[in-house]
A and B are shown apart, each in its own frame.
Chain A
Amino acid sequence: MMLLKLLTWPYVRKHKLRTCLTIAGIALGVVIFVGMRTANDSVLYGFQQTVDRIAGKAQLQVTSSEAGFPEEILEKVQSAVEVDVAVPVIEATAATGLAGQGNLLILGVDMTGDRSLREYDLEEGEQSVIDDPLVFLAQPDSIMVSRDFAVRNGLTTGGKLALDTMDGPKQFTVRGVMKPGGLASAFGGNLAIMDIYATQKVFGRGRMFDRIDISLKLEVSVERGKAALEKILGPGLQVDPPSSRGKQFESISRLFSIGASLNSLFALMIGLFIIYNTFSIAVAQRRSEIGILRSLGASRGQIRGLFVLESAVLGLIGSLVGVVFGLLLARGMAGYLSNFLGEVYGVAQKTESVAADPRLLLFAVLTGILTSIVAAWIPARDASQVDPVKALHKGGYEMFSERENRLRRMLALAFGAAALALLFSGGTAGPRLYGGYLCVLAAAVLLTPSLVRRVVALLRPAMKWLLPVEGSLAADSLVQSPRRTSATVAAVMLAVALVVGLGGVANASYSSIHDWMTAALNPDLFVGSSESLTDRSFRFPASMGEEIRRMEGVEDVQIVRTTRVLYDGAPVMLVATSLESLARRIHPKVVAGDPSTMYRLAGEGKGVIVADNLALLHRLKLGDMLELPTPTGMLRLPVIGITIDYSDQQGAFLLDRTLVVRYWKDDTANLFRVYLQKGVTPAEGKRRILERFGGQRRLFVMTNEQVRTYIMKVTDQWFGLTYMQIFVAVLVAVLGIVNSLTVSITDRRRELGVLQAVGALRRQVRQAIWMEAAGIGLVSIILGLALGGVILFYYLGIIREDLAGLRLEYQYPFNIALLLIPTMLGAALVSSIAPAESAVRASLVEALEYE
C-alpha cells in the first residue's frame, strides 16, 4: 500500500488524462451493463409489483396462460374443499385518451366476493359503494379509480371518465376513489376497478375470465392446494402462485435481457484492452523506476503486486463511476424500455422506479475490478520480470521479443485450429458454437500484433506517398510500438467486428422480415381492436368478421385470434385463423412439410403448423406430437409443417380457428385480415369499414402499408437499442485511440521536438499524428471488417440455436462496412485532435532536453 502511495500516486497525478481515459474504459462497460440490466430489472420489478399489488391475498391463481377460459371453471374451483375464496378476474388495459396519462389498467372483479381478497380502501363517505356492492353492480357504468389518478385528472366521485369500449367510446361514472397504497398504487396508480361482467362487455370478452384468484383455507398449504386444484382442473389450466407471472414475463423478455448482457460484456472486453494498453505503457515508462526498486530489494512479487493493486484501484474507481452513471442511464431508459417491451410483447406493465439490485451492482463492480486486474496481469508480470541491470537502458522495451511473438502466433494457430475443429465436428450449435466463437476471438486478438505489422507495412508506401515525411513517421511509429499499437488496434478491431456482426444480424433480420411480410402479410386491410398489433385486451365477436365479409368491395376476410399459450413452460404465441383461406392467400417459405397438403390437414384440425423459430428453440421436427394445455384438456396434434413466420419472437403455432373455438371455448377475434376486390383501393375499403362500424365499435383499420410501417418501426426500436450499445462500444474504442495517441506523444516527445527543430511546421506535426491515428483506424477497420465477417457467422448461429430460433441468411453487411470506413476513420481523426494539439503546444526546449 505504501508503494502504491509513493510510486503510483505521483505517476497518476502526472498522467491525469491517461488515468481518466483508463477509468472511462472500464466505466463505460459497467455503465452499459448496469444501465441496461437495471432498466430491464426495473421493468420486471414494475411488472411483478403490479402483479403482487393486484393479487392481494391471493395465494394461487388459475389461468389458461393469456387465453382465458370459460366462466364454468369458476364453479369447479369454488367446489374444491381446499379453497376458501375463489374470485374471477379480467385484467385489461385501455387508452384513457387523457393527455399524458397513457394506459389505464382495468381490473374487472366480482365485487360481491372480491373484498375477501383485496382491500378497496375508499375515501371517507364512499364506503357505501363497497358495503353494498349491488349499488356498484346495478349501475354498469360504475368505475373506481385510484386517488392518484383522480387527482391527476381532476376526477371526483360522480365525475365522468370517457373510455373506449368495444361498443365505441362510453362515459363511465366514478363511484369511488381508492386511497393511495396497496392495490391503488398498482400500475403506477393508473388503475381502475370495474364489475367483471361489465368488463367482459367493455372488452368484448364474451363469457370468459382471464383468471381466478384463490385464497386457501387456513390449514391448507399452497403446495397441497395447487395439487388438489390441478387434479380437479386437469392439465389444461395452470395453477400457480402470483409470482410465477413475473417469471413468464421474464422468459418473454429474455431475448432482450440476454442481448443487453452480451453487448455490455463485449463493451467491457473492449475496455479490457484499453487497460492492458495503459498498463503496458506504464510498465515501459516506469522501467527505470522498477529497476531501481528491484535493485533496492523489491521482490518480483512486490512489483507484480504493485501493478495489480494499481489496476484493482483503477477498476474499482471505474466500476463505481460506471455504477453511478449506469443507474442514471437506467432511470432514463426504464420508461422507454417499459413502453417498448409493452409494444413488442403486448404485456401490460408500468415501471414506477429504478429497481437497483445490490447483487447486480456488486457483480458489476467486481466484474469491473476483475476485468481491470485481468487486463493488467500480463503487464504486471512483465514488470516483475524487469532486469534491474538493463532497466536503465533505453529502447527495445516497446518491442515484443521474438519468443513472445512466436508464442502468440502458436497460440493463435492453436485457437484457430480449435475453432475449425469445433466447427467441423458439429459446432454449429450448443457449447461447441460458443467455444468456436471464443476461439476465433482469442486467435484474432493473439494474432493482432503480427497482423498489425504486416498491414502497416503494406500501408506504409501509400501513407508515404500521401505525405512523405508525416506518413513515414506515422507508419514507423505504429510498427515500432507494437505493444501500444496492437492493444489499441485490438480494441478498435473488436468494436468494428461487433458493429459488423450486429449490423449483419440487423441486415439479415430486416431482409428476412421483409420477405416474410411480402409472403405472409398480404391482406389489403387489417382491422384490429387496438392501435398496437400486440395488444390483445379488446376482442371482437367473430360475427363481425362475417359482417365485414358481406360488405361491398370485400373479397375475403380471415378471422384471427392470437393469444399466448404455455408450451414447454414458455408462453408461446398461438395464431388461429381459417387455414384453408390462408393457404389460398399466402405463400410462406416452408422449411419442412408438404406445402400442398399441410394447410389442408391443419385446416381440418389434423395437425399444427409451427414457426421455424419455435421449432429450433424447442427442437421440434415434423411428426412430433405437440401437447397444448387448453381449458378443456390437453390438445394433442402432430407437427405437419414448419414455416418461416415472424409473428412472435418466441415463436408461433398456427392452428385452425375451429380448434380454438372447440378447445378454448373462445369465439372472439383480435384481428381481421381483409382482402378487397379488384378496383377497390385500400383507402376506400378503410373508409367503408370505418363508416359501417366506426360509431358502434372500437376498431382500428390499418392498410397493408401501415402495418408494414408499424412492424418496421418496432424492428427499428429493437435494433435502436442495439445501435445504442454499438455506439458505446465505438466510444470505448475511440477512447482507446485517444489513450494510445496520448501515450505515443509522450513517448515521442523528443522525436516530435526534433521534427519541429529541423523545420516542421505545427501543421506538419499535426498531420503526422493525424496520420498515425488514421493508420490505427485503417488497420483496425481492415482487421475488424474481416473478424466481423467471421463473428457474424457465429452470431447467426447463436441467434438461430439459442436466442431466437431465427434462421437468418448469412449476408456480409457491405453497406455497414462502407459506412464504418469513414465513420471509424473520422472517429480516429477526431480522437487525434487533442493529442495532436498537446504535441504541437509542448515546449520544444523541454522536448529536446527530455531524457
Chain B
Amino acid sequence: MIELRAVSKRFDGKRSVTALDGVDLSIAKGEMVSIVGPSGSGKSTLLNLIGGLDHPSSGDLLIDGASLVHVSDDELTRVRRDKIGFIFQFFNLLPTLSCLENVSLPLHLRGWNRKQINERARELLDLVQLGKRLEHLPEELSGGERQRVAIARALSVYPPILLADEPTGNLDSQTGAEILRLIRDLQTRLNATILIVTHDMGVAESCRRTIRLRDGRIVEDIRREDIRREDIRR
C-alpha cells in the first residue's frame, strides 16, 4: 500500500538540515501504524511526504504501486483527495463553516452533487456522534468535538489511507482516549491504513505496529506484541 525506498528529505536554508535520511519502509493495507520519536526526529516530515504535502529530496515513494515523486502538484492533489485523509493536532477546521460544511468540503471539491454530499456528511457526523451539531460553528464546539469533526472530514471520501498528526495532542486524556477508540473503530469498519504520529505512549501502544525514528532514520520497527512502555521512552 505505502512503500518508501531510500527516501531522504533535506531542508536547505542557511544551514542544510536532513530531516529524513534514506528511509526504507513498507506498510500494508489495513495496518494501523504509530510513528514515535523525539522532537526533530522526522516524524511529521515522514507523514507530510506520505500525505503528498511535500516532495522527497531523493528516493522513491509509492502509494498503491504508483510513485509520488516527479508528479505535478495537481496529480499529487488528486492522490490526496482520492486516497488520503488528514487529521491534524490543531484540527484545522475552517472557522467560518459549520460542522456539516466542514465535512462536506472535500466532497464539494470533488464535485459531488449536493444530495450525495449532504447524505455522506450527515452519515459521517452521525458516525462521530455529532449528528445533532450539524449547523454549529467550530468555535461553538469543545476540543474533542472539533477533532471528531476533523475525523469525519478526513473520512468523507472513505480514503484508504488516514494520516493523523498528534490527533490527541491537543485534547485531555479522556477525550483523547475517546478519539483513539473512534479511530480504531473506523479502521476496523473501513479497513483503512492508518498512520499516527504521536508522542502519546497510550496511542502508540494501541497500534499493531510502531515505528521509531531518531535523527531521520528508522531505529526500530516494533510489532504490537513487542511494544512496551520502556521501549517508547528510550
From residue B107, how far is it (CB to closest CB) to chain A in Å? 9
Assembly CA distance A763 to B95 (angstroms)? 22
* Contact present for B96 and A476 (CB under 8 Å): yes
Q: Is A721 an interface residue (CB 8 A)?
A: no
Interface membership of B178, Cβ < 8 A: no
Q: Once bound together, how far apart are the Cα atoms of A755 and B53, in whole Å?
A: 12
Identify A751's interface contact among B86, B88, B94, B157, CB under 8 A. Answer: B94
Given contacts A472-B101, A844-B54, contact A758 B86 (CB under 8 A): yes
B109 & A759 in contact (Cβ 8 Å cutoff): yes
Judged by a CB distance under 8 angstroms, whether B105 is at the interface is yes
CB 8 Å contact bits of A225-267 with B (1 = contact, 0 = none): 0000000000000000000000000000000000000000000
Tell me whether A757 and B86 are in contact (CB under 8 A): yes
B160 to chain A, nearest CB (A): 14
In the complex, how many angstroms separate the beta carbon of A352 from the nearest chain B beta carbon?
Answer: 57
B 127-167 binary contact with A (CB < 8 Å = 1; else 0): 00000000000010000000000000110010000000000
> CA–CA, A750 to B97, complex, Å?
15
Tell me the residues in window 185-224 of chain A with beta carbons closer than 8 Å to chain B beta carbons: none
B108 interface residue, CB < 8 Å from A?
yes
Please determine whether B96 and A760 come into contact, CB atoms closer than 8 angstroms. no
Docked complex Cα distance between A756 and B122 (Å): 23
> Is A757 a contact of B80 with CB atoms below 8 Å?
yes
With a cutoff of 8 Å between Cβ atoms, the chain A residues found around residue B86 in the complex are 757-758
Name the A residues within 8 Å of B94 (CB-CB): 473, 476, 751, 754-755
| A750 contact from B78, B82, B92, B108, Cβ within 8 A | B92
Determine if A759 and B53 form an interchain contact, defined as CB atoms under 8 angstroms apart. Answer: no
Contact in complex: B92, A761 (CB < 8 Å): no
A468 at the interface (CB under 8 A from B): yes
Docked complex: B60-86 residues within 8 A CB-CB of A: 73-74, 77-78, 80-82, 86
Tell me, in angstroms, the Cα distance from A480 to B137 when the chains sit together: 13
* A-side interface residues, number (CB < 8 Å): 29
Known A-B contacts A472-B101, A758-B86; A845 and B53 likewise in contact (beta carbons under 8 Å): yes
B153 to chain A: which residues have CB within 8 Å?
Answer: 758
Q: Which residue of A lies closest to B86 (CB)?
A: A757
CB within 8 Å for A758 and B109 given contacts A477-B96, A751-B94, A845-B48: yes
The answer to whether B73 touches A469, judged by C-beta atoms less than 8 angstroms apart, is no
Residues facing B in A745-774 (CB within 8 A) are 750-751, 753-764
Q: How far is the CA of A754 from the CA of B51 in the complex (A)?
A: 12
A402 within 8 A of B: no
Report chain B residues within 8 Å CB of A751.
Answer: 94
- CA gap between A761 and B75 in the complex, in Å: 9
Contact-size category for B: 20 to 34
A759-B80 in contact given A480-B96, A848-B53 (Cβ < 8 Å)? yes
Residues of chain B lying within 8 A (CB to CB) of residue A754: 88, 92, 94
Smallest Cβ distance from B150 to chain A, in angstroms? 10
Output the least CB separation between A751 and chain B (Å): 6
Report whether A476 and B77 are in contact in the complex, using a CB–CB cutoff of 8 Å: no
Q: Report if A72 contacts B (CB, 8 A).
A: no
**0 or 1 for each of B86-108: is its CB under 8 Å from A? (1 = yes):** 10101010111100010001101
A441 CA / B173 CA spacing, docked (Å): 57
Residue of B nearest to A844 (CB): B53
Residues of chain A with a CB closer than 8 A to B114's CB:
468
Whether B110 is near chain A, meaning CB under 8 Å from some CB there, is yes
Q: Select from chain A the residue with minimum beta-carbon distance to B79.
A: A759
Cβ contacts under 8 Å, B106 to chain A: 758-759
Task: Decide if A404 is an interface residue (CB 8 Å cutoff).
Answer: no
**Interface residues as binary, B34-76 with A (CB distance below 8 Å gives 1, 0 otherwise):** 0000000000000010010110000000000000000001100
Which of the listed residues A754, A759, A763, A851 has the most CB atoms from chain B within 10 Å of its own CB? A759
A358 at the interface (CB under 8 A from B): no
Q: Which residues of B contact A472 (CB under 8 A)?
A: 97, 101
A395 at interface (Cβ–Cβ under 8 A)?
yes
CB distance from B42 to the nearest CB of A (A): 13
Q: Is the pair B74, A761 in contact by a Cβ cutoff of 8 Å?
A: yes
Contacts of A476 in B (CB 8 A): 94, 96-97
- Asked if B109 and A760 make an inter-chain contact with CB atoms under 8 angstroms apart, the answer reads yes
In the complex, chain B residues whose CB is within 8 Å of the CB of A757: 51, 53, 80, 86, 92
Q: Which residues of A contact B82 (CB under 8 A)?
A: 759
The secondary-structure label for the interface of chain A is: helix
A757→B154 CA distance, assembly (Å) = 10
* Chain B residue with the shortest CB-CB distance to A468: B108
Who on chain A is nearest to B111 by CB?
Answer: A468
Cβ 8 A contact of A756, one of B77, B90, B139, B154: B77
Please judge, given known A-B contacts A469-B105, A469-B108, A477-B96, whether A760 and B77 are in contact too, CB under 8 Å.
yes
Which chain A positions have C-beta within 8 A of B54?
843-845
Give the distance in Å from the alpha carbon of A477 to the alpha carbon of B96 in the complex.
8
Docked pose: A764 CA to B54 CA in angstroms = 19
A108 to B193, CA, bound (A): 101
The smallest C-beta distance from B227 to any residue of chain A, in angstroms, reads: 28
Pick from B74, B95, B101: contact of A762, CB below 8 A. B74
Give the complex CA separation of A511 and B51 in angstroms: 65
How far is the CB of B17 from the nearest CB of chain A, in Å?
13
Contact indicator B95/A395 (Cβ below 8 Å): yes
Q: How far is the CA of A31 from the CA of B88 in the complex (A)?
A: 50
Cβ of B53: which chain A residues have Cβ within 8 Å of it? 757, 844-845, 848
Separation in Å of the B118 CB from the closest CB of chain A? 12
**Per-residue 0/1 for A581-623: is the Cβ within 8 Å of any B Cβ (1 yes, 0 no)?**
0000000000000000000000000000000000000000000
- Shortest C-beta distance, B43 to chain A (Å), equals 13
A761 CB contacts on chain B under 8 angstroms:
74, 77-78, 109
Name the one of A468, A840, A848 contacting B92, with C-beta atoms under 8 angstroms: A848
Binding site for A on B (CB under 8 A): 48, 51, 53-54, 73-74, 77-78, 80-82, 86, 88, 90, 92, 94-97, 101, 105-106, 108-110, 114, 139, 153-154, 157
* Beyond A751-B94, A845-B53, 18 additional pairs, beta carbon < 8 A: A395-B139, A468-B108, A468-B114, A473-B94, A476-B97, A479-B96, A480-B96, A750-B92, A753-B92, A756-B77, A757-B80, A757-B86, A760-B77, A760-B81, A760-B109, A762-B77, A764-B109, A844-B53
A residues at B contact (CB < 8 Å): 395, 468-469, 472-473, 476-477, 479-480, 750-751, 753-764, 840, 843-845, 848, 851
Q: What are 22 residue pairs bridging A and B, where the CB atoms are less than 8 Å apart in the complex?
A: A395-B139, A476-B96, A480-B95, A480-B96, A751-B94, A753-B92, A754-B94, A755-B94, A758-B81, A758-B86, A758-B106, A758-B109, A759-B77, A759-B106, A759-B109, A759-B110, A760-B77, A761-B77, A761-B78, A762-B77, A845-B48, A851-B90
Counting from the closest, the 4 A-B pairs by CB-CB distance are A759-B81, A476-B96, A469-B108, A754-B92
